[in-house]
Every structure is written in C-alpha cells, then in structure tokens.
Structure 1
C-alpha cells in the first residue's frame, strides 16, 4: 500500500475546509466588496476540487464524497476553530487581515498536497491523478496569490487605522 490515499484524503478535507473558510470570510466581510465576491468565487473552485478528488479517490478504494456525521473530518470541521493568530480581534480591520492570513495558509497547505500528489502520480505513472493535479493545483496557486495580494494591498491602511490610529492623527501629532 502506498501513501497516495492519505494525500487524497488530506486534499479532500483541505479543499472542503478552504471552501468553508472562504464562504465564512465572505459572510463576515460583506462591506469589503472584492473580498466578499472573490472569496465566494474562489470557494467554488475548492468545492469543484473536492468533487474531483472524491471521484479520483474511488479507484484507490476511498469513498470521500459524503463523510458521515461522526467521521473525523466532519467532527474536526465542527470543533476546530480556524487557525487565527489574533484572539478574535474586535476590530473588523484586524479580523479581515487575520481571515486573509488564515485563508492563505490553508491554500498553501493544499498547494503542498497537490504538489505531493503530482509527484507521486508521476513516479507511479498514474496519469489520471497527474491530470487531476494539473487541473486543480493552478487554481489553488491562484487562491494563494489572491490572498497574498489582498494582504499586501489592505495591510498598510488597515493596520495604520486599527484601534483608532489614523494617518491624520499621526500627522497632527507630528506638528
């Protein structure tokens, strides 16, 4: 037995978790139109990836399409909070940055699993799994680029405005 089923399961659970995290972020930040709309669109990619993985896992003897209510993955989704560095920031700006950071890390985790699957598929000559990786991995990389771009774009303004600090207050204080 090889480790490919383990990677497929991790990818499936990771894509489902990323889909939910993207949708939750979109719901939490409706006023940030780009975040709201793009996160919703990117969640569809993760949904499609999970469906493709479930189909691709069948020949490996894995049945991933509908985890039961007591399965480890469904239990984890209900009990594990997202990996945030800030303790539930009350400032919505900080919460947005923290959500984007968590999304980026989740997409990076999926990207590494896609890469492992592609390498294993090449090594074993499994063209079906190689095609799956070739189709899905670029979209995961795009999810990462989007979160990184949003963090770069929003951080200067949101961090300098967090907790009532603003550029006008800072420039007034310098005078």
Structure 2
C-alpha cells in the first residue's frame, strides 16, 4: 500500500469519526442551541468528505466503507432529560462543552494535516482527481477548526473563571 493509499484510509476513518463525534456532542449539548445546530451542520461536511474519499479510494483500489448510520438518540436522550428534570437535576454543561470543543478541534486539526499531506502528494504526482478533492474538502475542515476555536475563545473566560 502506498503512502497516499494509507493516508486516504486514515483520513476516511478520521472523517467518519469526526462526524460521529460532532453528532454525539451536538446531542449531549442540545440545550446549547447554537452549538447543537452548528455541530450538526458541520458534521455533514465530514460525512460528505468520507463519502468522497471512499469514491476516490475505489480508484486507488481501496475498499473504504460508506457512511455510518446515525443511531437514533431520541428515545435515550429524552429519557435522560426527563429523569434529570424529575430529580431536579440540571446538567452542568459548561466544562464538558469546553472539553468537547477541545476534542473536536484537535480531531479537525488532525484531519487538516492529512488533507494538507494529500494536497502536496496530489501536486507532486499531478493527480488531478485527488487535488480536486482536497481543494473541495480541506477548506471545510479549516472552517470546522475555526468554528471550534472561536467557540473555545468565547466560552473559556466565562466557564473557566466560574468553574
């Protein structure tokens, strides 16, 4: 397996993981409406990236799996929320949200490095399909990073000082 194939496989897996992590964090923090909606939206980018990587992987002889099915969080999340309300508990979302943002940022940064590596390899090998994929997907990964970084900057002072 070539270095490009290995990196395609790793990035495909990491994009699938980032999508799942974004959706799980969105569900955990659904009371934070802005976070919930943006995390759900940017998770779609990772899903699209994984789908496009799988298609390109076939051209490289790789059998990369398609998108993961989304587990339906509705019933379990609703039960958890009702139990908390019944017990008079209000989940403290501050530090857990900040920790989730940190983890999401690091995952997006890892993906960005892999996109950069693939972009350089695509230029060196004059692989137009790979370069087109990198050019389409990497900017969205950079936007995922900027979003998590901005949220961390906005929330850190308030959450860390009051914790």
TM bracket, shorter-chain basis = 0.7 to 0.9
Structure with the greater relative contact order (CA < 8 A, sep ≥ 6): 1 or 2? 2
1:134-149 aligned at under 5 Å gives the runs: 134-149=135-150
Aligned to 1:171: none
RMSD: 1.4
Q: Paired residue for 1:37?
A: 37
Structure 2 residues without counterparts, runs of 5 or longer: 68-90
| TM-score using structure 2 length | 0.83
State the number of aligned residues: 140
Q: Deviations over 1:83-108 (max 9, x none)?
A: xxxxxxx8421100000000000000
Query: Deviation at 1:66?
Result: 4.3
CA distance in 2, matches of 1:111, 1:8: 13
SS of equivalent to 2:50: helix
Matched residue SS, 1:51: helix
* CA deviation map 1:32-85 (0-9, x unaligned): 111100000000000000000000111110010249xxxxxxxxxxxxxxxxxx
Structure 1 unaligned regions, length at least 5: 68-89, 163-175
Structure of greater Rg: 1
Q: TM-score, normalised by structure 1?
A: 0.77
